Protein backbone atom coordinates (compact mmCIF):
# COMPACT_ATOMS: atom_id res chain seq x y z
CA UNK A 1 0.00 0.00 0.00
CA UNK A 2 2.82 2.34 0.84
CA UNK A 3 4.42 1.64 -2.54
CA UNK A 4 1.35 2.44 -4.62
CA UNK A 5 0.60 5.56 -2.55
CA UNK A 6 4.15 6.83 -3.03
CA UNK A 7 3.82 6.23 -6.76
CA UNK A 8 0.55 8.17 -6.81
CA UNK A 9 2.16 11.06 -4.93
CA UNK A 10 5.14 11.10 -7.29
CA UNK A 11 2.82 11.18 -10.32
CA UNK A 12 0.80 14.00 -8.81
CA UNK A 13 3.97 15.99 -8.06
CA UNK A 14 5.08 15.60 -11.69
CA UNK A 15 1.66 16.64 -13.02
CA UNK A 16 1.54 19.65 -10.69
CA UNK A 17 5.04 20.75 -11.67
CA UNK A 18 4.35 20.37 -15.39
CA UNK A 19 1.06 22.27 -15.07
CA UNK A 20 2.75 25.14 -13.23
CA UNK A 21 5.58 25.33 -15.80
CA UNK A 22 3.07 25.30 -18.67
CA UNK A 23 1.06 28.12 -17.08
CA UNK A 24 4.20 30.22 -16.72
CA UNK A 25 5.44 29.63 -20.27
CA UNK A 26 2.10 30.30 -21.96
CA UNK A 27 0.68 32.73 -19.38
CA UNK A 28 -2.54 30.76 -18.97
CA UNK A 29 -3.14 30.99 -15.21
CA UNK A 30 -5.68 33.44 -13.83
CA UNK A 31 -5.01 35.15 -10.50
CA UNK A 32 -8.37 34.30 -8.95
CA UNK A 33 -7.65 36.36 -5.85
CA UNK A 34 -7.46 39.61 -7.83
CA UNK A 35 -10.92 41.03 -8.68
CA UNK A 36 -9.38 43.34 -11.24
CA UNK A 37 -8.53 40.27 -13.34
CA UNK A 38 -11.09 37.66 -12.33
CA UNK A 39 -13.81 38.79 -14.77
CA UNK A 40 -11.75 40.08 -17.70
CA UNK A 41 -11.84 37.80 -20.79
CA UNK A 42 -8.34 36.71 -21.80
CA UNK A 43 -7.47 35.40 -25.30
CA UNK A 44 -5.01 32.81 -23.97
CA UNK A 45 -7.72 31.09 -21.90
CA UNK A 46 -9.92 29.69 -24.67
CA UNK A 47 -9.84 26.07 -23.47
CA UNK A 48 -13.09 24.57 -22.19
CA UNK A 49 -11.31 23.64 -18.96
CA UNK A 50 -10.28 27.27 -18.40
CA UNK A 51 -13.94 28.09 -17.72
CA UNK A 52 -15.18 27.57 -14.17
CA UNK A 53 -18.56 26.63 -15.64
CA UNK A 54 -17.22 23.48 -17.34
CA UNK A 55 -19.31 20.45 -16.46
CA UNK A 56 -16.45 18.56 -14.81
CA UNK A 57 -15.79 21.43 -12.42
CA UNK A 58 -19.44 22.12 -11.63
CA UNK A 59 -20.62 18.54 -11.29
CA UNK A 60 -17.52 16.79 -9.97
CA UNK A 61 -14.78 19.00 -8.53
CA UNK A 62 -17.08 21.29 -6.56
CA UNK A 63 -18.47 18.13 -4.93
CA UNK A 64 -15.17 16.26 -4.94
CA UNK A 65 -15.22 15.02 -1.37
CA UNK A 66 -18.78 13.78 -1.82
CA UNK A 67 -17.76 11.75 -4.89
CA UNK A 68 -14.63 10.55 -3.10
CA UNK A 69 -16.68 9.44 -0.10
CA UNK A 70 -19.20 7.60 -2.29
CA UNK A 71 -16.36 5.79 -4.08
CA UNK A 72 -14.71 4.80 -0.80
CA UNK A 73 -17.89 3.68 0.97
CA UNK A 74 -18.94 1.57 -2.02
CA UNK A 75 -15.44 0.12 -2.23
CA UNK A 76 -15.45 -0.67 1.47
CA UNK A 77 -18.98 -2.13 1.52
CA UNK A 78 -18.20 -4.53 -1.33
CA UNK A 79 -14.74 -5.55 -0.07
CA UNK A 80 -14.07 -9.18 0.94
CA UNK A 81 -14.49 -9.65 4.72
CA UNK A 82 -10.76 -9.83 5.44
CA UNK A 83 -10.27 -6.44 3.75
CA UNK A 84 -13.14 -4.62 5.50
CA UNK A 85 -11.03 -3.33 8.38
CA UNK A 86 -12.53 -0.81 10.79
CA UNK A 87 -9.45 1.38 10.63
CA UNK A 88 -10.28 2.07 6.98
CA UNK A 89 -13.50 3.69 8.14
CA UNK A 90 -11.50 5.53 10.79
CA UNK A 91 -9.14 6.87 8.10
CA UNK A 92 -12.13 8.16 6.11
CA UNK A 93 -13.57 9.90 9.18
CA UNK A 94 -10.26 11.61 9.98
CA UNK A 95 -9.73 12.62 6.33
CA UNK A 96 -13.23 14.09 6.24
CA UNK A 97 -12.31 16.09 9.33
CA UNK A 98 -9.16 17.39 7.61
CA UNK A 99 -11.20 18.44 4.57
CA UNK A 100 -13.79 20.20 6.72
CA UNK A 101 -11.23 22.08 8.83
CA UNK A 102 -9.47 23.57 5.82
CA UNK A 103 -12.35 24.04 3.39
CA UNK A 104 -15.59 24.27 5.36
CA UNK A 105 -15.50 25.12 9.07
CA UNK A 106 -12.98 25.59 11.87
CA UNK A 107 -14.73 27.08 14.89
CA UNK A 108 -16.14 29.64 12.47
CA UNK A 109 -14.48 30.36 9.11
CA UNK A 110 -12.48 27.58 7.47
CA UNK A 111 -8.69 27.74 7.72
CA UNK A 112 -8.38 28.73 4.07
CA UNK A 113 -10.66 31.74 4.66
CA UNK A 114 -8.66 32.65 7.74
CA UNK A 115 -5.44 32.50 5.69
CA UNK A 116 -6.87 34.89 3.10
CA UNK A 117 -8.05 37.33 5.77
CA UNK A 118 -4.79 37.18 7.72
CA UNK A 119 -2.77 37.86 4.56
CA UNK A 120 -4.68 41.02 3.64
CA UNK A 121 -7.85 39.68 2.05
CA UNK A 122 -10.94 41.84 1.65
CA UNK A 123 -14.61 40.93 1.48
CA UNK A 124 -15.90 42.44 -1.78
CA UNK A 125 -19.14 42.56 -3.69
CA UNK A 126 -19.29 43.03 -7.42
CA UNK A 127 -21.79 45.72 -8.37
CA UNK A 128 -23.93 45.15 -11.46
CA UNK A 129 -22.74 48.30 -13.23
CA UNK A 130 -20.32 51.17 -12.77
CA UNK A 131 -21.20 53.93 -10.35
CA UNK A 132 -19.05 57.04 -10.40
CA UNK A 133 -18.79 57.55 -6.67
CA UNK A 134 -15.03 57.84 -6.41
CA UNK A 135 -15.01 55.08 -3.79
CA UNK A 136 -14.69 51.33 -3.77
CA UNK A 137 -12.56 49.21 -6.07
CA UNK A 138 -13.29 49.23 -9.79
CA UNK A 139 -12.16 46.46 -12.14
CA UNK A 140 -13.24 48.43 -15.19
CA UNK A 141 -16.07 50.70 -16.26
CA UNK A 142 -18.54 47.82 -16.04
CA UNK A 143 -17.45 45.87 -12.96
CA UNK A 144 -16.84 47.93 -9.83
CA UNK A 145 -16.24 46.34 -6.46
CA UNK A 146 -17.10 47.59 -3.00
CA UNK A 147 -15.48 46.38 0.22
CA UNK A 148 -17.79 45.34 3.05
CA UNK A 149 -17.01 43.93 6.52
CA UNK A 150 -15.29 40.54 6.34
CA UNK A 151 -18.00 39.02 8.55
CA UNK A 152 -20.32 38.96 5.55
CA UNK A 153 -17.92 36.66 3.68
CA UNK A 154 -17.29 34.49 6.73
CA UNK A 155 -21.03 33.86 7.10
CA UNK A 156 -21.19 32.55 3.49
CA UNK A 157 -24.77 33.78 3.16
CA UNK A 158 -26.56 35.49 0.33
CA UNK A 159 -27.22 39.15 1.02
CA UNK A 160 -30.43 40.99 0.19
CA UNK A 161 -32.24 44.16 1.34
CA UNK A 162 -34.59 41.97 3.34
CA UNK A 163 -31.98 39.91 5.19
CA UNK A 164 -29.32 42.63 5.62
CA UNK A 165 -31.07 46.01 5.60
CA UNK A 166 -28.13 47.86 7.22
CA UNK A 167 -25.85 46.92 4.33
CA UNK A 168 -28.22 48.51 1.85
CA UNK A 169 -27.90 51.91 3.45
CA UNK A 170 -24.57 52.29 1.65
CA UNK A 171 -25.34 54.63 -1.28
CA UNK A 172 -22.79 52.90 -3.53
CA UNK A 173 -24.64 49.61 -3.24
CA UNK A 174 -28.14 51.11 -3.31
CA UNK A 175 -27.45 53.25 -6.38
CA UNK A 176 -25.76 50.44 -8.29
CA UNK A 177 -28.45 47.82 -7.83
CA UNK A 178 -31.31 50.28 -8.22
CA UNK A 179 -29.83 51.72 -11.41
CA UNK A 180 -29.25 48.28 -12.88
CA UNK A 181 -32.93 47.37 -12.62
CA UNK A 182 -34.52 50.79 -12.89
CA UNK A 183 -36.29 50.37 -9.56
CA UNK A 184 -36.15 51.89 -6.12
CA UNK A 185 -34.59 49.99 -3.23
CA UNK A 186 -37.98 48.97 -1.85
CA UNK A 187 -38.85 47.35 -5.18
CA UNK A 188 -35.65 45.38 -5.59
CA UNK A 189 -35.84 41.59 -5.48
CA UNK A 190 -32.14 40.76 -5.41
CA UNK A 191 -29.62 38.67 -3.53
CA UNK A 192 -25.90 38.17 -4.00
CA UNK A 193 -22.98 36.45 -2.32
CA UNK A 194 -19.80 38.39 -1.46
CA UNK A 195 -16.35 36.88 -1.91
CA UNK A 196 -12.92 37.19 -0.37
CA UNK A 197 -10.31 38.68 -2.72
CA UNK A 198 -6.66 39.61 -2.38
CA UNK A 199 -4.55 37.94 0.28
CA UNK A 200 -3.15 34.43 -0.22
CA UNK A 201 -5.92 32.37 -1.81
CA UNK A 202 -4.73 28.79 -1.29
CA UNK A 203 -5.85 26.61 -4.19
CA UNK A 204 -8.70 24.77 -2.52
CA UNK A 205 -9.22 22.66 -5.65
CA UNK A 206 -5.64 21.43 -5.65
CA UNK A 207 -5.76 20.75 -1.91
CA UNK A 208 -8.97 18.76 -2.24
CA UNK A 209 -7.89 16.85 -5.33
CA UNK A 210 -4.51 15.99 -3.77
CA UNK A 211 -6.18 14.77 -0.58
CA UNK A 212 -8.79 12.79 -2.54
CA UNK A 213 -6.26 11.14 -4.87
CA UNK A 214 -3.94 10.00 -2.07
CA UNK A 215 -6.84 8.77 0.07
CA UNK A 216 -8.49 6.80 -2.74
CA UNK A 217 -5.23 5.30 -4.00
CA UNK A 218 -4.44 4.18 -0.45
CA UNK A 219 -7.87 2.56 -0.11
CA UNK A 220 -8.05 0.96 -3.55
CA UNK A 221 -4.66 -0.61 -2.77
CA UNK A 222 -6.51 -3.11 -0.57
CA UNK A 223 -8.17 -4.47 -3.70
CA UNK A 224 -5.19 -4.52 -6.06
CA UNK A 225 -3.16 -7.68 -6.75
CA UNK A 226 0.44 -8.10 -5.51
CA UNK A 227 2.75 -6.27 -5.16
CA UNK A 228 0.20 -3.59 -4.24
CA UNK A 229 -1.73 -5.49 -1.54
CA UNK A 230 -1.72 -4.35 2.06
CA UNK A 231 1.58 -4.77 3.89
CA UNK A 232 -0.29 -6.18 6.87
CA UNK A 233 -2.49 -8.56 4.89
CA UNK A 234 -3.61 -11.66 6.72
CA UNK A 235 -1.88 -14.93 5.88
CA UNK A 236 -5.31 -16.51 5.44
CA UNK A 237 -6.42 -17.13 1.83
CA UNK A 238 -8.13 -14.10 0.39
CA UNK A 239 -11.77 -14.35 -0.62
CA UNK A 240 -12.55 -13.99 -4.28
CA UNK A 241 -13.89 -10.45 -4.85
CA UNK A 242 -17.42 -10.13 -6.16
CA UNK A 243 -18.19 -8.78 -9.62
CA UNK A 244 -19.69 -5.71 -7.93
CA UNK A 245 -16.46 -5.07 -6.05
CA UNK A 246 -14.39 -5.42 -9.23
CA UNK A 247 -16.69 -2.92 -10.96
CA UNK A 248 -16.32 -0.59 -7.99
CA UNK A 249 -12.53 -0.81 -8.20
CA UNK A 250 -12.61 0.16 -11.88
CA UNK A 251 -15.02 3.00 -11.11
CA UNK A 252 -12.73 4.27 -8.35
CA UNK A 253 -9.72 4.15 -10.68
CA UNK A 254 -11.70 6.14 -13.25
CA UNK A 255 -12.53 8.74 -10.60
CA UNK A 256 -8.86 8.94 -9.58
CA UNK A 257 -7.95 9.53 -13.23
CA UNK A 258 -10.48 12.37 -13.43
CA UNK A 259 -9.04 13.91 -10.25
CA UNK A 260 -5.55 13.80 -11.80
CA UNK A 261 -6.78 15.56 -14.94
CA UNK A 262 -8.63 18.24 -13.00
CA UNK A 263 -5.57 18.80 -10.79
CA UNK A 264 -3.55 19.39 -13.96
CA UNK A 265 -6.09 21.84 -15.43
CA UNK A 266 -6.23 23.68 -12.11
CA UNK A 267 -2.44 24.15 -12.24
CA UNK A 268 -2.61 25.32 -15.85
CA UNK A 269 -5.52 27.76 -15.64
CA UNK A 270 -6.02 29.00 -12.07
CA UNK A 271 -4.21 30.64 -9.15
CA UNK A 272 -0.72 32.04 -8.72
CA UNK A 273 2.26 29.71 -8.31
CA UNK A 274 2.51 30.15 -4.50
CA UNK A 275 -1.23 29.44 -4.16
CA UNK A 276 -0.93 26.24 -6.20
CA UNK A 277 2.13 25.09 -4.29
CA UNK A 278 0.47 25.74 -0.92
CA UNK A 279 -2.65 23.85 -2.01
CA UNK A 280 -0.59 20.84 -3.04
CA UNK A 281 1.61 20.90 0.09
CA UNK A 282 -1.34 21.26 2.47
CA UNK A 283 -3.12 18.41 0.69
CA UNK A 284 -0.11 16.13 1.14
CA UNK A 285 0.33 17.24 4.76
CA UNK A 286 -3.35 16.59 5.44
CA UNK A 287 -3.07 13.05 4.09
CA UNK A 288 0.10 12.36 6.11
CA UNK A 289 -1.73 13.60 9.21
CA UNK A 290 -4.45 10.99 8.65
CA UNK A 291 -1.84 8.23 8.42
CA UNK A 292 -0.43 9.30 11.79
CA UNK A 293 -3.82 9.44 13.49
CA UNK A 294 -4.96 6.14 11.97
CA UNK A 295 -1.81 4.13 11.11
- The predicted model scores a pTM of 0.86
Confidence of residue 227 (pLDDT cuts 50, 70, 90): low
Confidence of residue 230 (pLDDT cuts 50, 70, 90): very low
Query: Which pLDDT score, from 0 to 100, does residue 50 have?
Result: 87
Tell me the percentage of the chain whose pLDDT exceeds 70. Answer: 82
| Cβ contact 256:12 at 8 Å | no
Is the per-residue pLDDT at 190 higher than 90?
A: no
Query: Which pLDDT score, from 0 to 100, does residue 30 have?
Result: 87
**How far is residue 209's CA from residue 279's CA, in Å, rounded to a whole number?**
9
Query: Which pLDDT score, from 0 to 100, does residue 274 have?
Result: 96
**How far is residue 252's CA from residue 70's CA, in Å, rounded to a whole number?**
9
Segment among 119-133, 155-169, 259-273 with least mean pLDDT: 119-133
- Is residue 286 within a helix (H) or strand (E), and if so which, with residue range? helix 273-293
Query: Which has more pLDDT, 47 or 202?
Result: 202
Is the per-residue pLDDT at 128 higher than 80?
A: no
Confidence of residue 233 (pLDDT cuts 50, 70, 90): very low
- Mean pLDDT for the stretch of residues 22-26: 94
Query: Which pLDDT score, from 0 to 100, does residue 84 have?
Result: 79
- Residues with Cβ within 8 Å of 154's Cβ and at least 6 positions away in sequence, in order, are 108, 109, 113, 117, 123
| Cβ contact 81:239 at 8 Å | yes
Query: Which pLDDT score, from 0 to 100, does residue 229 have?
Result: 52
**113 phi and psi, to 5 degrees?**
-65, -40
Segment of 65-69, 150-154, 219-223 carrying the highest mean pLDDT:
65-69
| pLDDT averaged over every residue in the chain | 84
Query: Which pLDDT score, from 0 to 100, does residue 61 have?
Result: 95
Amino acid sequence: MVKVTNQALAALAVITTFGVIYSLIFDTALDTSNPLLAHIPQPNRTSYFAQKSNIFNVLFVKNAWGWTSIAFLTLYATSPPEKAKLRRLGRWVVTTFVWAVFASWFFGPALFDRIITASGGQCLIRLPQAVSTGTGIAADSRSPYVAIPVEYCEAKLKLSPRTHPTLFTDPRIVDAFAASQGKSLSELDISFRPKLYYGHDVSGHLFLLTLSILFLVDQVGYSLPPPFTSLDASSAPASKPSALHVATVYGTLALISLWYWMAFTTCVYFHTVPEKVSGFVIGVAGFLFTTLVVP
